[in-house]
Structure 1
């Protein structure tokens, strides 16, 4: 299993806060630092300094880290035109020496769109399909050639398809819980399929939908990494776990069911069960970005117990 740190900076974090988490992520041996792509705090509470832009943040971290992979889980198609997104991601990949991954989705938080004047069309799945087609095709266009596209939502004419990312292909993450279109998009475009915060027992079926779609398209289902994201809250004792649950405003009993929560032994048992369900990569959603000891606890007390 790979383990990645997943953050939600819109809840209140500066770039320096994120840099501290990213450096701890690297020093403690985690595989990657990922962040959400949102512009408004969700729920009540002090928004602190306000939002940070995902790709601006990742550009900075690309120059201030050396090993960990960097990416979004996930960028929304409503925020950027696909041609601009392709340029941004390729440039950050260059800045990182080839360590970037793009998670792309439809977006869902209409309130943040109203707050910052971003259009939020009611139907966005077709936007996602066209953006995935455009972004991956721009990167795949041979140097010296041009790329054109005519779709319902976007039109590109004789694009030089530059700049190019270092990686070829650059990893693309598609995720969700849809039963039909989402698996097909993952099979067509993704190097990884991610299920965010899955309901208990649903992962095998969701993964099987993607595997079936791959087979229908003539793609090896094992070409895709199968991952899931969970809220993380754990401690060396019940009191430490309860304190961490309280710090992020969650009930311990609920977290034990839906998250990676409790004592180290409890989390190890759940991760073992997830591995048996086909999970190859886990995103640990760390909601308290000032609790770097929490990352240390997972790195030292949980992950080593899983073995190879």
Structure 2
């Protein structure tokens, strides 16, 4: 009898939790739906009723956002910067992670410890030296932004370190016996074996770089070089005076759609990758 009551109580709590989580999920999804609906209205209709469905579905708002608001230019700037930034950030993290995980030398533990300690330093505390360094090197340009994404000792390295640590060294020894060199072992054996972590880190880096506002805002002086995050923020400032919010909502949807699509297809690999890395570490 007691077991039945406990079972009934557990079921009730599960239902309550499911309802709460469902409500939370709706609260996250609804703003995107609201923004999409209003991005298809005329400006007058939007101010008349922000909660109604559009009378005429104005897809031209997206065309205007792409061309007149220059979101298309910012979009392609973000594509090539994100692609290069993701590749370099992952490779510059994978190489030290592999060396620290598989090669023992003096100072290896100290380097790994520095990577952990780096998380304790607030980012705002390094802003002054970083700004002066970029200014003295003349890197207020896309190259400076790209270099900012290549830091090897950080979050990506720690995740990949856990994956490489869990891979048996016997694979490398067999390859060495067949005449393979260190670079071949790394690229053709270790990287494929750690593909779960590589995919997870790539996804995380891609989302982070695509959404990055701080570095491009500081380092990109020419408006033609703006990424979509900076361009969108600039568009928000412009719309404060022109109040053409429906075009702004269309621009926001263009900016967020690639990330939503990518996360939709890669969410399982992203979650499983970090989980496996945590277990192996």
RCO higher in structure (CA 8 A, sep ≥6)? 2
TM-score when normalising by structure 2: 0.22
TM-score when normalising by structure 1: 0.20
Give the number of the structure whose alpha-carbon radius of gyration is greater. Answer: 2
More helix by share: 2
More strand by share: 1
